Amino acid sequence: MALLLLSTAERGEVWPRVFAEAGESIFVGEASVADPAAITHIACWVPPQDLSVYTGLKTVISVGAGVDHLPPMPAGIALSRTIAPGIEAMVRDWVVMATLMAHRDVPTYLAQARDRLWRAGKVTAASARTVGILGMGRIGRLAAAGLGNLGFRVRGWSRSGTPVDGIDMFAAADLDDFLRGADILVCLLPLTAATRGILGEAMFAKLPQGARLVHAGRGAHLDMAALSRALDAGRLASAVLDVTDPEPLPAEHPLWSDPRVIITPHVAAQTDAREGALHALTVIRAVREGRPIPGLVARERGY
């Protein structure tokens, strides 16, 4: 088994050390591969143009948590997304921070501070607000636990509605009921054909008046113009965004200067190079031993 890594200079330095310790073969960059047929795994953000030369290829590993940037894989090649507990905890932390900011009216107070304006609004207890999380996967469940510990009522929405301890769960078909009670809406969905543009006019219209949006999924989940309209109409009170469409958000985009919006530049999490390498090793070993592939992505589910 041999892995080809196509990624950043940092990963190019760290991964060979991790692979050497584990006694596994790694090639960094296509130019280093003399015999493409010997490559069994490719870890990358952008895959090679022509995968057909890698005749022994078994898996492509996304070096990120998502796979929405990758094209469909040819038949017989499995796709794995990086499972990294460190990244998941970082996103949980960002979501907790952003939810607290939305809950405690930080966008308003930041705007007031720029005008040196001391004006106190009403403070609401966490227990009086319901946070609704779209996407109750690995990260959604972590975020739900963190927010529940702070006293928020938490509800979750997923395709299956699979029960989660202590959380009011809603399945895909029950979206309207879920939205009706979400004072703060958090998006932690993967980007798929079914979820692209989901944060738009129709969804915002079903939220309680003055709801808040926290978005750490992918930029293309969000209709940015619909967000502006919902803010102007008072339908939404504020938004805290880690992801935008496009990224980077152009300097002239109106949301930069909207006092109701806080934007961070896709920094909820950043992959730790060592953690990513360890994930790739677990994939290689699972394939070698015929076990289920960690982070396996089922294309037929729309990823």
Which positions lie near ligand NDP, rule CB under 6 A? 65-66, 87, 91, 135-140, 158-160, 162, 172, 188-192, 194-195, 216-218, 242-243, 266, 268-269
For residue 219, the 8-state DSSP code is G
Smallest gap from residue 188 Cβ to ligand NDP (A): 5
Q: Which is nearer to ligand NDP, 220 or 230 (CB)?
A: 220
Distances in whole angstroms, Cα of residue 74 to Cα of each of 13, 70, 237: 30, 12, 45
Q: Where are the alpha helices (DSSP H) in the chain?
A: 9-22, 85-103, 106-114, 138-149, 175-180, 201-206, 224-232, 273-289
Q: Is 266 a catalytic residue?
A: yes
Taking phi over 0 as left and psi of -120 to 50 as alpha, with beta for the rest, 265 belongs to beta
Q: Are 297 and 72 in contact (CB under 8 A)?
A: no
The CA distance from 297 to 284, in Å, is 15
Residue 111 C-beta: closest distance to ligand NDP, Å:
24
Q: Which residue of the set 159, 229, 253, 266 is catalytic?
A: 266
Phi, psi of 62 (to 5 degrees): -75, 130
Active-site residue among 218, 235, 260, 279?
A: 218
**In this structure, which amino acid lies at residue 229?**
R
CB closer to ligand NDP, 52 vs 162: 162
Give 195 or 228: the residue with its C-beta nearer to ligand NDP.
195
Residue 253 known to be catalytic = no
Instruction: Report, in Å, the least distance between residue 161 CB and ligand NDP.
Output: 7
- Rank residues 40 and 158 by Cβ distance to ligand NDP and give the closer one: 158
Beta carbon of residue 113, minimum distance to ligand NDP (angstroms, whole number): 26
Q: Return the residue nearest ligand NDP (CB atom).
A: 137
Q: What angle do CA 272, 276, 281 make, to 5 degrees?
A: 150
Positions annotated as catalytic residues are 218, 266
